[in-house]
């Protein structure tokens, strides 16, 4: 079995080391004897979405998002087809905002990909916090760190989770992120997947199920990751 991971625009969308999420997916495949190839795409590269099993769009500053946004128009149709065909996407922070219709900033509108029905508006102050979210579909909470000026509204789509601590999509409705088909968008950046191996395995399982029609993932020893997760959950929600 083999998984191909496409990393879009790592030079521009790689805030807080989102690249570590790729390493996490690759390693968790390799530990299970699943081959994992990573393809990096720069801004003007053609992208053959049919050759990809997982796509990662990382975080970026407003300036970098503005640079990327024009190029997105050229891949929008193919990317939309990939999503509607249940292609797996993990989009983080700036990349999450770009999944939607637009991100309005004081410097102007950043047009998004319109892959998911959501939009983002800049607000003040920036929402900076550790964050804990819960979703019954996952075996334990998802923990991370958020730092965004944008407030995202997901128009009735399913959220990635309910906020137990932190701000989430917009600081108002206690929801964080979005799940649409096999797309996850989230404000949790940096080491999202190393901190949350259950989210990493969710993405891998979806990609394997789509490609091979089955998705049994051999369990790995995540004792240390679980202990760290429990510590964070306890520190922010139970003290
Ligand atoms: N530039 C966006 C914002 O501030 C996203 C930032 C990020 O990717 N951390 O909302």
CATH number of the domain to which 207 belongs: 3.40.50.880
| Total count of domains within the chain | 1
Q: Examine the pLDDT at 1 and tell me if it is beyond 90.
A: yes
**pTM score of the predicted model:** 0.97
d(CA 59, CA 77) in angstroms, rounded, equals: 22
Q: Is the CB of 148 under 6 A from ligand 1?
A: yes
Ligand 1: atom nearest CA of 16 is 9
DSSP state of 216: P
Helix 197-212 crosses helix 19-30 at what angle (to 10 degrees)? Answer: 60
Q: Examine the pLDDT at 239 and tell me if it is beyond 80.
A: no
Mean pLDDT over each residue of the chain, to the nearest integer? 95
Residue 14's pLDDT is 83
Average of pLDDT values for 112-117? 98
Taking only the tens place, the pLDDT of each residue in 124-154 is 999 999 999 999 999 999 999 999 999 999 9
User: 19 pLDDT band (50/70/90 cuts)?
Assistant: confident
Active site members: 93, 189
Taking only the tens place, the pLDDT of each residue in 41-58 is 999 999 999 999 999 999
3-class state of residue 186 by DSSP: strand
Q: Examine the pLDDT at 184 and tell me if it is beyond 90.
A: yes
Q: Is the CB of 110 under 6 A from ligand 1?
A: no
Q: Is the CB of 94 under 6 A from ligand 1?
A: yes
Taking only the tens place, the pLDDT of each residue in 210-223 is 999 988 899 999 99
| Structural domain boundaries enclosing 129 | 2-238
Q: Assess whether the previous peptide bond of 106 is cis (omega < 30° from 0).
A: no
């Amino acid at each position: 079995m083999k998984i191909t991971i496409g990393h879009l625009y790592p030079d521009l969308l790689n805030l807080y080391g989102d690249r570590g999420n790729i390493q996490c997916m690759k390693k968790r495949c390799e530990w299970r004897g699943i081959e994992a190839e990573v393809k990096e795409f720069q801004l003007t590269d053609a992208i053959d979405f049919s050759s990809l099993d997982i796509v990662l769009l990382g975080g970026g500053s407003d300036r970098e998002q503005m640079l990327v946004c024009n190029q997105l128009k050229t891949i929008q149709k193919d990317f939309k087809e990939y999503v509607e065909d249940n292609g797996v996407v993990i989009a983080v922070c700036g990349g999450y905002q770009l999944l939607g219709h637009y991100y309005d900033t004081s410097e102007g509108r950043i047009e998004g990909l319109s892959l998911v029905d959501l939009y983002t508006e800049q607000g003040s102050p920036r929402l900076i916090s550790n964050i804990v979210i819960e979703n019954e579909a996952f075996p334990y909470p998802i923990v991370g760190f958020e730092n965004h000026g944008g407030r995202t509204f997901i128009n009735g789509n399913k959220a990635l989770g309910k906020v137990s601590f932190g701000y989430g999509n917009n600081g108002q409705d206690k929801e964080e992120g979005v799940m649409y088909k096999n797309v996850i968008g989230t404000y949790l950046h940096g080491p999202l997947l190393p901190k949350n191996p259950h989210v990493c395995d969710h993405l891998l399982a979806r990609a394997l199920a789509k490609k091979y029609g089955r998705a049994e993932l051999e369990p790995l020893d995540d004792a240390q990751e679980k202990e760290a997760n429990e510590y964070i959950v306890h520190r922010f929600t139970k003290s």
